[in-house]
Amino acid sequence: MIAVLGSANLDLVVTVERAPGRGETVTGRTFATLPGGKGANQALAAARAGGDVAFLGAVGDDDFGRRIRELLADAGVDVSGLAVSDQPTGTAHITVDGTGDNSIVVVPGANGTVTALTDAHRATIDRAELLLLQLELPLDLVVEAARYAHAREIPVVLTPAPAVPLPEELLEAVDILVPNEHEAALLAGIDDPIAAAEQLTRLCDDVVVTLGARGAAWLSGGETIPVPAFPVQAVDTTAAGDTFVGVMAAGLAGGLQLGGALHRASAAAALSVQRPGASSSMPDRAEIDAFLA
């Protein structure tokens, strides 16, 4: 079983010709609500790819929270560890202007109430083959969870997003670190993503830096192994990284070595970027198999 301890949000997306200035009101073009949050996205991607997944986190006692719970449950994710908080479900308020630039306000809401491991969290992590973490829950909790799993020899996968400076005690408890190029650069303080990833292997055994349409690079034991992207026409790369990590985890839990799991992850991400949306664009196991056949 793959345990995912992370965020669940509803993204509220408006498109506008021009974003409003201070004190200004503008008329928007479209509005959509999309389930998101890196934790929920990774859980969904792993479950669609055939993984046995348990999600740990919190939503509010509201329609947004019920929608996220239903989406995860429908995909076969165990949501018994998804708590109902007295805070509203986390939201991301996204404004996309006519040039495609966006501005985002994130309100953590219920996600911010997950501040310490509970006995139920520990019981789930104890049974897990892999723990997936990101940085959209309080940092102290992420550190506690990583250290707890690491002490029990349960492999820990961390997506260090959003990028913030991280304590060494966290990175030392991480087995596979999966930053994108910006996150790698920020964490290592080095612009070149490969050199940055190399630096990060001093603390984590395996570092997989994702490079968008250029694929990814897996750094381990002094070696740099390319993970080629599949050449496709991308229409929406939202959650490409979360699809990549979720499918990698499903591969590992299914018995693949990391190289094989990364190959499947790259295929799944290539499938997802050809479709709009985040959770709605994630492929299932059969689609990934067909793409690779």
Shortest distance in whole angstroms from residue 285 CB to ligand ADP: 18
Q: Which of 258, 270, 282, 288 is close enough to bind ligand ADP by CB under 6 A?
A: 270
Amino acid at 196: A
What sections of the chain are H helices per DSSP? 38-48, 63-74, 119-127, 139-151, 168-171, 181-188, 193-200, 240-253, 258-273, 285-292
Q: Is 61 a catalytic residue?
A: no
Q: Which of 20, 88, 138, 215 is close enough to bind ligand ADP by CB under 6 A?
A: 215
118 within 8 A of 21, measured Cβ to Cβ: no
Q: What angle separates helix 258-273 from helix 240-253, to the nearest 10 degrees? A: 150
Residues 230-249 that bind ligand ADP (CB under 6 A): 230, 232, 234, 237, 240-241, 244
Shortest distance in whole angstroms from residue 122 CB to ligand ADP: 29
Q: For residue 210, state whether it binds ligand ADP (rule: CB under 6 A).
A: yes
> In this complex, which beta carbon is closest to ligand ADP, that of residue 194 or of residue 211?
211
Beta strands in 16-135 (DSSP E): 30-36, 53-60, 82-85, 90-96, 102-107, 130-133
Site string for ligand ADP, 154-193 (x = CB under 6 A): --------------------------x-------------
Catalytic residue among 11, 78, 175, 242: 242
Q: Which residues contact 50 (CB under 8 A, 6 or more apart)?
A: 250, 254, 284, 285
Residues 27-66 that bind ligand ADP (CB under 6 A): none
> In this complex, which beta carbon is closest to ligand ADP, that of residue 50 or of residue 246?
246
Write the CA distances from 68 to 36, 75, 89, 97, 219, integer angstroms.
8, 11, 9, 27, 35
- Of all residues in the shown chain, the one whose CB is closest to ligand ADP is 241
Query: For residue 254, is it left (φ>0), alpha (ψ between -120 and 50) or beta?
Result: alpha
Q: For residue 7, state whether it binds ligand ADP (rule: CB under 6 A).
A: no
Residues at the interface with ligand ADP (CB under 6 A) = 180, 210-213, 215-216, 229-230, 232, 234, 237, 240-241, 244, 266, 269-270, 273
Catalytic sites, residue numbers = 242
